[in-house]
Structure 1
Amino acid sequence: ALRTNEQRAVFVGVFRIALTGTLAFVWTLRGRVNVKSTQLQLSENRFSTVLNSVEAYIYIKDRDLRYQYANRMVADLLQTTETDIIGKTDSDFFDDKTCANLRQNDLRVIEKGERVSDEETNVTATGEKRTFLSTKIPLKDARGNVYALSGISTDISEHLHIQEQLNHARFYDTVTGLANRRLLLDRLEHALANAQRTDYEGALLAIDLHDFSVVNDAFGHQFGDQLLQEVARRMERLIDEADTAARLGADDFVVVLENLNGDREQAILDARQWAHALIELLHEPFEIDGKHYVTSVSIGVTMFSDTEGGVEVLIRNADLALADAKQEGPHTIRFFNPSMQENVSRRVNLESAMRNALENNHFHFFVQPQVDSQHHVTGVELLMRWSDAELGYVPPSEFIPVAEATGLIVPMGEWLLGEAARLMQRWQEDPLLRDLTVAVNISAKQFRHAGFVDMIKRIIQQPNVNASLLELEITESMLIEDVQNTVRRIAKLNEWGVRFSLDDFGTGYASLSYLKQLPIYQLKIDQSFIRDILTDTNDEIIVSTILGLGRSMGLEVIAEGVETAQQARRLNEMGCAKYQGFHFGRPASPVEWEARLRESRLTIYAGGN
C-alpha cells in the first residue's frame, strides 16, 4: 500500500508538471495567436485605410460574381455601406443593361483568366450615369485556379465631359451651336466627294443678315447673340439631316444642301426655292427680351458643279454671289456666274488704286449749284470725282460702293469734308459767294463712325468756317438702322449750327414719326420721281405729297435731277421752290463755277447758262 501511495504521488507530480507545461504552452500559443491576430487586424486595417484613401473604386468578386470586398468609394457610389455590399451582385445596384455589360467583362476574367481594361458606362438603380476606366485581373490559388477577380475603376465622366466640350468648341460655333469653319470645310469635302460619286447636285449658300452691327450698337451684344441663336434655330428647321448649317463669324452663315437632284436645272430650282423659304422664315418677327425685331437677309448661291477647284473655291464663289446680292438690297438671291470673278478682280484693283489715291491726294471734287424758284444760286453740293492714271475715269457709281464695302468711305468722306471747309474759307473772302451753303453727302458707315461728331467739330472750329452754311445730307435708311443714335448725333451737331437734309427722300422707309424726331431742315426729292414727273401720274402724286409734307412740317424741299425746263416749270407750278440738276448746271470744278457765278451774279438761266 505504501508503495502504491508512493507511485500515485509520483504520477500526480508528473501529471502536474505535464499539465503545467501544457497550460504554459497553450497560454504561450494563445498569446502568440493573439499577437498575430492583432497584427493581422492592424495590417488589414492599414490595408483597408490605404484602399479607402485611394481615389478609385476597388472591389473583389468571387466566381459567382458576388462582392467579397468593396472600398469606401464603391459604397459611396452605390449609396450604401461596405458591409451591405458583401454577398450581393451587380443586379442589386445597376440597371439590366449595365449588369449585362459588366458581366461580359467579368466572365472573361473569371472563366478565361484574362486581364481586362475597358471603358464601362454604368447606370445605377437611381438613374445616375457614370463612365469608368476599369481594369480587372484574376486572383488565383496555389494550383493556379481562378477563385475571384479584383477590379479597380476610375471615374472618367468629368474628363470625357471636358473632352466633349473641347471637341465641341473645336468644331462648333460657341454662340449658335452650328458648325464652325473647321467642321464646315470637312463636311463640304465629304459633300463634294459624295456629289461626284452619286452625280447628285448640291449647293452652297452664303447668307448675310442686314445691318446686324446696328443691332449690337442699339440693343447690346447679348441681344445680338440671342438674335443669332434664333436665326440658327430657324435655319436648322429647314435643313435635312444630311445638310449642314454653319456660322463663320459675325452675321455670316453658310448652308450646305446635299443630294438636291440629279438634274442640274432642277437642282438650281430646288436651291432657289429653299433660299426663298429661308428669306420668308427669317423675315417673320423675332421676339427677344420682350422686343419684336424684324431682320432681312441676302443670299449668294453656288452649285457644286460651278467649280472644279475644291472647297475654298466653292466658298469664294458663294461669297461673290452674296456680294452681288447685297448690292441689290434685302431679300435678294443671286447665283454665282464666272463674270463675278472678273468683277472681283476689277474691285480688287479699284480698292488698291483708291488707297493709293487717298495717300497721294489724287481725288478731286466737283460742285453742282442749287437754285431757288428765281434761278438764284443758294448753295452748292460737293461731288467726289476720281480719275486714275491706269484705270482712267472711274464713275462714283463704281467706286463709292467699293469704298463703302472696304471702309475707305470713312477717310474719303473726311477728306471731302476737309475740302468743303477749305472751300468755305476761301468763299468767306468773297462778298458774293460767302453766303452760299455747302452740302456734303454723308454715308451711313461714316455717320456711325465713333469719331464722326468730333471730326465735324474740328472742321467747323477752323477759322472762317461758318457752321450754319455746312449742310450734311443723310439717307432715310440711316433712320431705320439706329433712330436714337441718329437723333442724338444730329441734335448735337445742330447745337453747333450744322444743318441736315434728308437725301433721296421717298425711296426709303422713313415714317412721319421719324421725321418728327429728327432736327432736319430739308427734304430732298429723289431724282427717280422727277425723271418721269411729266408722264407718270404716280410720280407726280408722290412729288406733290412730299411737297405738302414739307409745308405741313415746316421743312424746305429741294428737287434733284431736274434736267429740262418743262420739269422745272411743272415743279414750280406744284410749289417746289428749290432745284438741282443738269438743267441748272452740270457738276464742274469749283474754279469753273466760281467764275460763272461771279459773271452771272449768282443767277442761272435756262439750260444752265
Structure 2
Amino acid sequence: MHLSANETTMPRLHLIGTVGLLLVVTLAMAVFYSWRNEREQRTAFARIEQVITQQQHERLTTEMQSAVSYLEFQRRRTEDVMRRSIVEQVDAAMQIAQAIYDREAPHRPPAQVQKLITEALRPARFFEGRGYFFIDDMQGRFVLLPTAPQYEGRAGIDNRDDTGNYIMRGLINAAYLPQGTGFFRYRWYRPDTPKLMADKLAYVRHFAPYDWLIGTGDYLYEWEALQKREAMQRLRGLRFGASGSVGLIDAEGRSLLSPNNPALEGLLPAQMPELEQRALQKLRDVAQAGGGFVEYEWPRPGAREGEPLGRKTALVTTYAPWGWVLVTSMFNDELHSRLRAETRAHEAGNIQQRVELALMVLGALALGVAGSFGFSRWSRRLFANYHSELQQAQENLRIAAIAFESQEGIFVTDTRGVILRVNRSFTEITGYSAEEAIGQTPALMKSGRHGPDFYAAMQEAITTTGAWSGEIWNRRKSGAIFPEWLTITAVKTEAGEVTHYVSTLTDITQRKAAEEEIRHLAYYDPLTRLPNRRLLLDRLQQALRSCQRMQRQGALMFIDLDNFKLVNDSLGHEQGDLLLQEMGRRLVASVREDDTVARLGGDEFVVVLEGLSAQPWRAAQEAETVAEKMLCALAAPVTLDGHEVRGTCSIGVVLFANDQARTEDLMKHADLAMYQAKESGRNTVRFFDPEMHAAVVQRVALEQDLRTALQEGQLRLFYQPQVDAQGRIVGAEALVRWSHPRRGLVSPSAFIPLAEDTGLILPLGQWVLQTACTQLARWATEPGREQLTLAVNISGRQLRQTDFVAQVLQALQQTGAPAHRLKLELTESLLLDDPEDAITKMSALKAHGVGFSLDDFGTGYSSLAYLRQLPLSQLKIDQSFVHNLVTDPRATAIVRTIVTLADSLGLNVIAEGVETQEQREHLARNGCHTCQGYLYGRPGPVEELMR
C-alpha cells in the first residue's frame, strides 16, 4: 500500500512543485528585469534630452554671435566705404579739370577754360543720382552748384547748418589739408524731407590754377542704409542645419527678414495671421526683457493647410546701433530625432519583453507538467535505461564540445534535418529564438534565391565528404535577406554512423557591403556618385548595340561648365565641389531614367541618350531639345557660401545609329563639337560635322609644322615703320612672319593663336625678343640709326612667366642692345589678368630703361585706376578708331579723349592702321603726331625699312 501510494502521489507532487517553483522564479526575474530596464530607459531619455537641448542652444548661440559680428563689421565699415567712394569721384573730377586746363589754357582766355571745366562736371551724377560735383572759390563764392545754379556767383561764406557750423568756411579749411584728408562733416537738408537736416560728409581738393575747391559729398544715412541692405541680403541666405535661419524685426515690430515665410516681410504684427502675430509678439517681449531663448509654434515650410504646426526654439537679442531684433531659430524636431528613435526602440523592446515573459511562463509550466509525467515513468525504468542514458550523455557531451567551440551562430539538427539546439549567436543573427527554431528545419530561413540544383549539390557534398561550406543567402525573422557563410559538419559515431549535423553560420553582410563599395568606386565618380569613364564606355557600347538592334538613333553629349575655374578661385574648391554635385543632379533630372549621365573629371560631364527617332533629322531635334533643357537647368542660380552663382555650359552633340561606330571616335567627335560651342560664345549647343574634324586634323598638322619651323629657322622678323609729324622714321614694330616650304607665307592670324593655345608662344616669343634685340644692337652702331626704337609684342603667357624680367634683361645683355630703345607692347586684357603682378614686372624692367606701350587702347576694359599705376611710356590708338575718323564724329571724340588723357598722364601717343593722308591730318589736328600704317609702309624685311 505504501509503495502504491508513493507511485501515485510522486507525479502529482512533482507536477505541483515544479510548476509552482518555475512560475515564482520566472515571474520574480521578469518583474526585476522589467523594473530595472524601465528605470535605465527613463534615465537615458532624460540625459539624451538634456544633451540635445544644450546642443540646440549652443548652435543657436554660435549662429547669433556670428550674425551680430557681421552686422557690427558692416556698420563700422560704412564711413570707410563712403570716404573711399567720395575720394575716387573727386580725384576723377580733378583729373578732368587738370586735363582741360593743361590742354586749353595756352589757347583760350581763363573765363572760357573755367566755363569748359564747370560744364564738363555739371552733368555728372553718381551715388544713385544723389551725388554731384560742386566748385567754390577760396573766397566763399559758389562757382558750380548743379542743384541750385541760381546761386552760382553768389557768396555763401556765412551759410550755417542747424547746429551753427559754417559750411563754406569748413570746406575752405578742408581744401587746404593734404590730399586724401580734406573731409568736412556738416548737416544739410534731406532730399526726401526738405525741412529736416541730416549728417553729410564732403571731401574737397584745392585746384590751384584758379584757386578753387572741387568736391562732392553724400548723406551718411544713405550709406548706412546701403550697408543695412547688404547685411540683410547676406543674412537672408544664411542657413544652418536643416531648418535653421536668421530673422530680423525692427523697433516698430515690423518683420524685416523672414526666410521661412518671405510673405511676412514688411508687415506689422497687426497685418499678420493670428499664429504668426502671436509668435512675433512673444519674440518682441523676450527682446524687451533683455533677450534669451524662447519656444513657439510656427508653420513648417511648404506645409499644407491642416497639417500640424512645428515647435521652434529661438535665441533673441537686440542689435542696438540699428534698432534691430535678431532671431536665430530652428525646429526642435531637427535635433530630437534621436530621442524619438530611442523611444520607439524602447516601446518595441517592451512589447518583445512582454511576449518573451509570457512565453517563458508558458514554457516553464509546460516543462513542469511534462517533467512530472515523465518522472514516474523514468523512475520505473531507471535501471533499465541507465546504460542507454549513459550513451546519450556521451553523445550530448560530444555534440556540446563541437557546437560551442566557436562563437559563431550554431544550430544542431538530427539526421532528418529537424533543429534540436541553437546558441545565442544564432538568435542574434537570424532573429529566431530557440523556442521558435527548435522543431523546425533550416527551410525556416530559406530566402528563395537558390534553386534545387544548389541544395542538391550541397547534400551530395555532405553525403560524400561529411561536410559542406560556402556562401548562401538566408532570410531573417524580420523578412530581411542577408548573406552568410555556412559550414555543415556531420557528427558520426565510432562506427561511422551519422547521428547529427552541426551547422555554423557567419553574417557576412558587412563584407559584402565593402565589396559592393569597392565595385562602386571602380565604376562611379566618388564626388557626384555618377558613372565614371569606365562605366560610361561600357554603357555607350551597350547603347550602340541597342540602337543597332532596335533600328533607332542615339546621341552622345559632352557638357563643359563655362568659367568653372572662377568659382574655384574665388570661393574655394569645396564650394566648387558643391557646384559640381548640384550640376550633376540637374543633368540627371533633365534626362530620362534609362539615359546615362557620367562625369569624366573636372567640370566635364557626358550624357548618352538612347531610343531617339530612326530619322536623323528628327533625332537631332530630340537631342537638341534635351540639350536646351540642360542649358536652362544649369543656368538657374545656385547659392554657394552666401553668394548667388549663375553658371552656363557648352554642349557638343554627336549622333550614332549602330555598333559600327567606335566609342573612341564618338568621344572625340563630341569633344570637338563641345569646343566649337565654346568658341561660338559659350552657353550654346553644337553638333559634330566632318568639317569640324577636318579643321582639327589641319590644326594638328599646322602645330607640328610650327614646331618644325621653330627648329629649322623658317620664321622671319618683318618691320613696319613708325614716323613723326615730319614723316621721319623714329622706330619700327617687329612682326613675326612664317615662310612655310609648302604653304608659302602663313598669316600670323593662323599661327599666333595656335601658338598661344599650345604653349609654343613661349619659344616663339623668346626668338622674336632675341632677334629684335640683335637688330637694335646693330642699329646702335650705325650712324643716323642709333636713335631708332623697336616695339616688340608680348603675349600673356610670356608675361605670366616668373622669370620674364630675367629673360628680357638676359636678351639685352647677350646682344648689347640699348634698353631705352626697346619698347614692349602689351594689351589691356593681358594686364587685367593679374594687374599687381604685371605692375611689379613692368616696374622692374622700367628701372633698367625698357619702355612699355599699351596696344589696342580703348577696345578693352580700361581701368583708369590701374592706368595711373602702370609704368607706361606710350598709348597706342587702335586702328578701329583710326579707320572711322573721317566719317564718325564719335571716333574723333574718342581719339581726342585718349590724347588728352595721355597728355595728363605724361604719356606719348601713337596711332596704328593709318592708311590715308586724310586720316593722318585728322590725327594731327587732334594732337596725335606719331603714326604707323600702310600710308608709310607695309611690314617687310629690315632692308626695305632702311630704304
Asked if Structure 1 and Structure 2 have the same fold, meaning a TM-score greater than 0.5 normalized by the shorter chain, the answer is yes
Instruction: Tell me the SS of whatever aligns to 1:50.
Output: coil
Residue in structure 2 matching 1:360, options 712, 715, 718 = 712
2:523 maps to a residue whose letter is: F
Partner of 2:938: 586
Residue in structure 2 matching 1:86, options 429, 434, 440 = 434
Q: Deviations over 1:223-262 (max 9, x none)?
A: 6655544544443343332333334344444333334445
Distance 1:271 1:325 in 2: 15
C-alpha change, 1:352 and 1:496, in structure 2 (3 Å) is same
Partner of 1:531: 883
Distance 1:364 1:217 in 2: 40
Partner of 2:701: 349
Q: Deviations over 1:118-161 (max 9, x none)?
A: 55487897x9x99533437597999x999987543334344334
Distance 2:783 2:912 in 1: 27
Instruction: Tell me the SS of whatever aligns to 1:566.
Output: helix
Partner of 1:9: none
Residue in structure 1 matching 2:511, options 147, 156, 159 = 159
Q: How far is the alpha carbon of 1:364 from its aligned partner? A: 1.1
Instruction: Tell me the SS of whatever aligns to 2:704.
Output: helix
Contact 2:470-2:487 at 8 Å conserved across structures: yes
Contact 1:61-1:69 at 8 Å conserved across structures: no
Is 1:69 matched with 2:411?
no
C-alpha change, 1:283 and 1:533, in structure 2 (3 Å) is farther
Q: How far is the alpha carbon of 1:494 from its aligned partner? A: 5.0
Q: How far is the alpha carbon of 1:434 from its aligned partner? A: 3.8
Q: How far is the alpha carbon of 1:181 from its aligned partner? A: 2.7
Residue in structure 1 matching 2:731, options 345, 369, 379 = 379
C-alpha change, 1:42 and 1:152, in structure 2 (3 Å) is closer
* Mapping for residues 34-433 of structure 1, pairs under 5 Å: 47=402, 50-52=405-407, 56-60=408-412, 68-70=421-423, 72=425, 74=426, 85-88=433-436, 102=446, 118-120=471-473, 131-135=482-486, 137=488, 150-209=502-561, 225=577, 228-276=580-628, 278-279=630-631, 282=634, 288=640, 297-304=649-656, 309-331=661-683, 333-430=685-782, 432-433=784-785
1:320 maps to a residue whose letter is: L
Distance 2:732 2:791 in 1: 6
C-alpha change, 1:463 and 1:160, in structure 2 (3 Å) is same
Aligned length, in residue pairs: 547
Contact 1:502-1:523 at 8 Å conserved across structures: yes
Instruction: Tell me the SS of whatever aligns to 2:555.
Output: strand
Is 1:439 matched with 2:787?
no
Q: Deviations over 1:519-576 (max 9, x none)?
A: 5554444434443444456655655665566566665554332322233333344444
Instruction: Tell me the SS of whatever aligns to 2:823.
Output: strand
2:796 maps to a residue whose letter is: A
Distance 2:819 2:418 in 1: 94
Q: How far is the alpha carbon of 1:491 from its aligned partner? A: 5.1
Q: How far is the alpha carbon of 1:495 from its aligned partner? A: 5.3
Contact 1:130-1:157 at 8 Å conserved across structures: no
Instruction: Tell me the SS of whatever aligns to 2:405.
Output: helix
Partner of 1:10: none
Deviates further, 187-196 or 41-50: 41-50
1:385 maps to a residue whose letter is: R
Distance 2:651 2:545 in 1: 24
Contact 1:206-1:300 at 8 Å conserved across structures: yes
Contact 2:562-2:683 at 8 Å conserved across structures: no
C-alpha change, 1:433 and 1:76, in structure 2 (3 Å) is farther
Contact 2:491-2:502 at 8 Å conserved across structures: no
Distance 2:787 2:746 in 1: 32
Distance 2:621 2:729 in 1: 55
Contact 2:553-2:611 at 8 Å conserved across structures: yes
Distance 1:558 1:277 in 2: 50
The alignment's C-alpha RMSD in Å is 4.9
Contact 1:114-1:138 at 8 Å conserved across structures: no
Distance 2:756 2:629 in 1: 29
Contact 1:218-1:482 at 8 Å conserved across structures: no
1:133 maps to a residue whose letter is: E
Contact 1:385-1:395 at 8 Å conserved across structures: yes
Instruction: Tell me the SS of whatever aligns to 2:556.
Output: strand
Distance 2:445 2:820 in 1: 85
Instruction: Tell me the SS of whatever aligns to 2:435.
Output: coil
2:422 maps to a residue whose letter is: Y
Distance 1:548 1:61 in 2: 105
Contact 1:70-1:85 at 8 Å conserved across structures: no
C-alpha change, 1:46 and 1:243, in structure 2 (3 Å) is same
Contact 1:173-1:180 at 8 Å conserved across structures: yes
- When normalised by structure 1's length, the TM-score is 0.72
2:484 maps to a residue whose letter is: L
Any gaps of 5 or more consecutive residues in structure 1?
Answer: 1-25, 91-98, 597-609
1:86 maps to a residue whose letter is: A
Is 1:562 matched with 2:917?
no
Distance 1:441 1:293 in 2: 36
Distance 2:886 2:839 in 1: 36
Contact 1:227-1:286 at 8 Å conserved across structures: yes
Distance 1:258 1:301 in 2: 13
Instruction: Tell me the SS of whatever aligns to 2:558.
Output: strand
Q: How far is the alpha carbon of 1:478 from its aligned partner? A: 3.6
Deviates further, 393-402 or 428-437: 428-437
C-alpha change, 1:135 and 1:495, in structure 2 (3 Å) is farther
Distance 2:607 2:497 in 1: 62
Contact 1:326-1:332 at 8 Å conserved across structures: yes
Distance 1:493 1:290 in 2: 42
C-alpha change, 1:392 and 1:265, in structure 2 (3 Å) is same
1:458 maps to a residue whose letter is: Q
Instruction: Tell me the SS of whatever aligns to 2:654.
Output: strand
Distance 2:626 2:449 in 1: 51
Distance 1:42 1:241 in 2: 60
Higher relative contact order (CA 8 A, sep 6+): 1
Any gaps of 5 or more consecutive residues in structure 2?
Answer: 1-381, 460-468
Instruction: Tell me the SS of whatever aligns to 2:484.
Output: strand
1:50 maps to a residue whose letter is: E
C-alpha change, 1:277 and 1:573, in structure 2 (3 Å) is farther
C-alpha change, 1:64 and 1:260, in structure 2 (3 Å) is same
Contact 1:307-1:314 at 8 Å conserved across structures: no
Q: How far is the alpha carbon of 1:51 from its aligned partner? A: 0.5
C-alpha change, 1:61 and 1:49, in structure 2 (3 Å) is closer
Quote the sequence identity (%): 39
Distance 1:312 1:173 in 2: 20
Contact 1:138-1:146 at 8 Å conserved across structures: no
Contact 1:479-1:514 at 8 Å conserved across structures: no
1:135 maps to a residue whose letter is: L
